[in-house]
Amino acid sequence: MIRFLIRRIGQSLVLLVLVSMIGFALLHLTPGGPLSQFALTPGMSAATLAQISHAMGLDRPLPIQYLDWAGHLLRGDWGRSYRDQQPVLDIIVSHLWATLELMGSSSLLAIIFGTWVGVLGAIRRYSIADYLATIGAMIGLSIPTFWFGLVMIYIFSVWLGWLPSGDMYASGHASFIDYLRHLILPCLVLTLVTIATWSRYMRASMLDVISQDYIRTARAKGLRRRAVLVRHALRNALLPMITIAGLQLPTLLGGALVTETVFTWPGMGRLFLDSIGYRDYPVVMGLLMFSALLVLIGNLIADLLYSIADPRIRLS
Amino acid sequence: MSAAAPLGSALPAPARGARRPALRRFMRHRLAMFGLAAIVILVVACAIGPYLSPYGPLTIDLRHRFQPPFLGPHLLGTDQLGRDLLVRLLLAGRISLTVGFAAMGLSTVFGVIVGLAAGFYGGWAGTALMRFVDAVLCFPQIFLLLTLAALVSPGVLTITLIVALTSWMEVARVVEGQIRSLRERDFAVAAEAIGVSDTHLMLRELLPNVMAPIVVAATLTVARAILLESYASYLGYGIQPPTPSWGNMLNNAQEYLTSAPWLAIVPGIVITLAVTGFNFLGDGLRDALDPRLDIHR
- Distance between CA atoms of B240 and B225, rounded to whole angstroms? 17
- Distance between CA atoms of A94 and A90, rounded to whole angstroms? 6
Return per-residue pLDDT of chain A as tens, 316 residues: 788 888 888 888 888 889 888 888 887 776 666 666 666 666 667 777 777 777 766 777 778 888 888 888 888 888 778 778 888 888 999 889 989 999 999 999 999 999 999 988 888 888 888 888 888 888 888 999 989 998 988 888 888 878 777 777 766 667 777 777 888 889 999 998 889 989 989 998 888 888 888 888 888 888 888 888 888 888 888 888 888 888 888 888 889 888 998 888 888 988 998 888 887 878 888 888 899 988 898 888 888 888 888 777 665 5
Q: Is A305 exposed, middle or buried (0-12, 13-18, 19+ CB in 10 A)?
A: middle
Chain-chain contact of B268 with A257 (C-beta, under 8 angstroms):
no
Chain-chain contact of B140 with A287 (C-beta, under 8 angstroms):
no
Contacts of B132 in chain A (CB under 8 A): 18
Smallest CA–CA distance from A207 into chain B, residue: B1
- The DSSP code for B84 is B
- Distance between CA atoms of B255 and A110, rounded to whole angstroms? 30
Contacts of A151 in chain B (CB under 8 A): 264-265, 268
- Distance between CA atoms of A24 and A18, rounded to whole angstroms? 10
B41 pLDDT more than 50: yes
Tell me the three state secondary structure of residue A80: strand
pLDDT-derived band at B229 (thresholds 50, 70, 90) equals: very high
- Distance between CA atoms of B179 and B213, rounded to whole angstroms? 12
Residue numbers of the domain that contains B221? 37-47+96-297
Residues comprising chain B, all counted: 297
Q: What angle do CA B294, B296, B297 make, to 5 degrees?
A: 75
What pLDDT, on a 0 to 100 scale, did the predictor assign at position B226? Answer: 94
For B139, which of A30, A276, A288 is closest by C-beta distance?
A288
Q: Is A71 exposed, middle or buried (0-12, 13-18, 19+ CB in 10 A)?
A: exposed
CA distances to A134, B119, B185, B197 from B193, in Å: 47, 19, 12, 10
Domain membership flag for residue B203: yes
CA B69 to chain centroid: 30
- Distance between CA atoms of A191 and A185, rounded to whole angstroms? 10
- Distance between CA atoms of A37 and A57, rounded to whole angstroms? 15
- Distance between CA atoms of B22 and B248, rounded to whole angstroms? 39
Omega within 30 of 0 (cis) for the link into B21: no
What pLDDT, on a 0 to 100 scale, did the predictor assign at position B297? Answer: 33
Domain membership flag for residue B61: no
- Distance between CA atoms of A191 and A247, rounded to whole angstroms? 16
CA distances to A147, B63, B222 from B87, in Å: 20, 18, 23
CB pairs under 8 A between A and B: 133
Tell me the three state secondary structure of residue A87: strand
Top mean-pLDDT range of B100-104, B199-203, B205-209, B283-287 = B100-104
Backbone angles phi, psi at B84, to 5 degrees: -70, 125
Domain membership flag for residue B181: yes
Q: What is the CATH number of the domain that holds B175?
A: 1.10.3720.10
Least confident residue range of A134-148, A170-184, B37-51, B56-70:
B56-70
Fold topology of A88-309 = MetI-like fold (1.10.3720)
Instruction: Give the alpha-carbon dihedral of A133, A138, A144, A148, to 10 degrees.
Output: -10
Q: At what angle do helices A2-29 and B141-151 cross, to 10 degrees?
A: 20
pTM for this predicted structure: 0.85
Determine which of B142, B233, B292 to mutate to test the interface with A (most A C-beta atoms within 10 Å).
B142
Q: How far is B156 from chain A (nearest CA, A)?
A: 20
Domain membership flag for residue B279: yes
B295 and chain A in contact, CB less than 8 A: no
- Distance between CA atoms of A79 and A71, rounded to whole angstroms? 12
Query: Number of structural domains, chain B?
Result: 1
Domain membership flag for residue B12: no
